[in-house]
Amino acid sequence: MNTSKMRHLEELSVNQTFSMFTQSEDLKKIAAHFFESMESVLIRNQIVDALQSYDLGIVTAVFEIFGGYVNRSFGIYTEKDGKQCEYFVRKYKYGITAPEIVFEHLMIDYSKAHGLDIAAGLIRTKDGETFVKKIEGVNGKGTDIYFAVYEFLEGDDLYTWDTPNLNDEEYASAAGVLATFHNAARDFDPQGLERVEPKIMEFLPTLPEKYQELAQKDIDTKFHKYYRSKLDSILKVVESSHIPQDVLEKMPLTPCHNDFHAGNLKYVNSKVVGIFDFDWSKIDHRLFDVTLGMAYCCSSWQDEKDGVLLLDKCAIFLKSYQQKLIELKGLEPLNAVEIEYLPTMIAAANMYLINWDVTAYYAGTDLNEYEYIAYLQHNVRLMNWIEKHKAEILEVAKSILV
């Protein structure tokens, strides 16, 4: 073999290999930093570009607000005529449709006009629109993306959806805000628009097939193993959480926030002074929104109590909700049928959250697996707790009728 015109692949020593490995680690960090920097530049430029459609002056600063998992949120400063202003900018999740955004914005406008004065109001474009559509991509491979600008709400961001550590006054205030929203939006005309996602009792029957398909995925992760181990119990609760149609007909339908948790509220001196994030909203049974709020706000995430529904907090929440509607004299308070089926509906509401845990994990990339295991474990524990304590939940619910 004539090797004179060949490249000799020499063996490297351990030290040489280690040196190259170290350099590759450095390159990996450089690449990650470069990607993060370019992504930041891109999103800032996208926001500045979207703001060209508004008469808000020059964008002087952009800050990303963390906490969400689907949409991306930003606080921005602008300057116009020598005056500095602040706004909230939302870049909507990929895949959302324009009619869904129109539905959300019409509902916000209607609710604010009819009593929900603490909601973040929409800022109009120069053409009077409430959002801007842009194309993300090049060479004919574009994706529709949407931006909206809102008033920046005053108040403090004290909690997140997985740290609902409200005090009793805040629980009462939050429930009163939910009641005020339901009352304000009760006669809203969606003009034929709706979210793609169906109502909760139409949504539940779609879950078993979906859950079973996800369980068949050929992946070897801790989340997947845990999910598969709990699948049978999850499917049983899906089945037992259906409410008959003749019963549902006795439950009021209203616009529902559908994401009413402690992180979507602003606080000052133990009072809720702002509410936002209506992009999950849809028309559904009012009781679903109430119980979803309870599953979010009244369940413990703390150590040995993780997954326990705090019945004393539920009592505060329900009594305040009921009292606010009595005061407003518009939308009827929770009726006897809603009270009777509240334990079943809160099981359905928690199943809605389990669906989010599972869907987000299997659809995601570069996720913190332990974070999502914690989410699913919390909701599975809550599921089991609800099933074992429906009598106590019903007792708390009935106490507000006295």
User: pLDDT tier at 69 (50, 70, 90 boundaries)?
Assistant: low
Amino acid present at 229: S
- Enter the tokens of residue 191: 């003009």
Angstrom distance (rounded) from CA 362 to CA 251? 34
Angstrom distance (rounded) from CA 293 to CA 284? 14
Angstrom distance (rounded) from CA 156 to CA 151? 15
Q: Among 16-20, 95-99, 243-247, 371-375, whose mean pLDDT is lowest?
A: 16-20
The whole-number pLDDT of residue 272 equals: 98
> pLDDT of 259-298, one tens digit each?
999 999 999 999 999 999 999 999 999 999 999 999 999 9
Buried (b) or exposed (e) across 204-228, using 16+ Cβ within 10 A? beebeeebeebbeeeeeeebbeebe
- Looking up tokens 């005529």 gives 81
The whole-number pLDDT of residue 402 equals: 58
The whole-number pLDDT of residue 68 equals: 62
- Assess whether pLDDT exceeds 80 at residue 105: yes
> pLDDT of 78-101, one tens digit each?
999 999 999 999 999 888 999 999
* Selected residue with higher pLDDT from 26 and 227: 227
Where does 168-399 sit in CATH, by number? Answer: 3.90.1200.10
Angstrom distance (rounded) from CA 313 to CA 369? 30
- Assess whether pLDDT exceeds 70 at residue 17: yes
Please, where in the chain does CATH 3.90.1200.10 lie? 168-399
User: pLDDT tier at 67 (50, 70, 90 boundaries)?
Assistant: low
pTM above 0.85, yes or no: yes
Please, where in the chain does CATH 3.30.200.20 lie? 33-151
- Assess whether pLDDT exceeds 80 at residue 365: no
The whole-number pLDDT of residue 70 equals: 73
User: pLDDT tier at 153 (50, 70, 90 boundaries)?
Assistant: very high
- Assess whether pLDDT exceeds 80 at residue 4: no
Quick one: fold of 33-151?
Phosphorylase Kinase; domain 1 (3.30.200)
Q: What angle do CA 354, 247, 296 make, to 5 degrees?
A: 30
Contacts of residue 186, Cβ cutoff 8 Å, sequence gap at least 6: 252, 254, 255, 330, 331
> Between 311-328 and 390-399, two packed helices, what is the crossing angle to 10 degrees?
30
* Alpha carbon of residue 299 to chain centroid: 16
Dihedral sign for Cα 238, 355, 379, 251, please.
negative
Angstrom distance (rounded) from CA 201 to CA 245? 9
Angstrom distance (rounded) from CA 294 to CA 321? 11
Amino acid present at 334: L
The whole-number pLDDT of residue 165 equals: 96
Helix (H) or strand (E) holding 203: helix 200-203
User: pLDDT tier at 194 (50, 70, 90 boundaries)?
Assistant: confident
User: pLDDT tier at 1 (50, 70, 90 boundaries)?
Assistant: confident
Cβ(256)–Cβ(296) below 8 Å: no
- Enter the tokens of residue 14: 């351990």
Angstrom distance (rounded) from CA 358 to CA 351? 10
Cβ(276)–Cβ(264) below 8 Å: yes
- Assess whether pLDDT exceeds 90 at residue 137: no
- Enter the tokens of residue 320: 């305040």
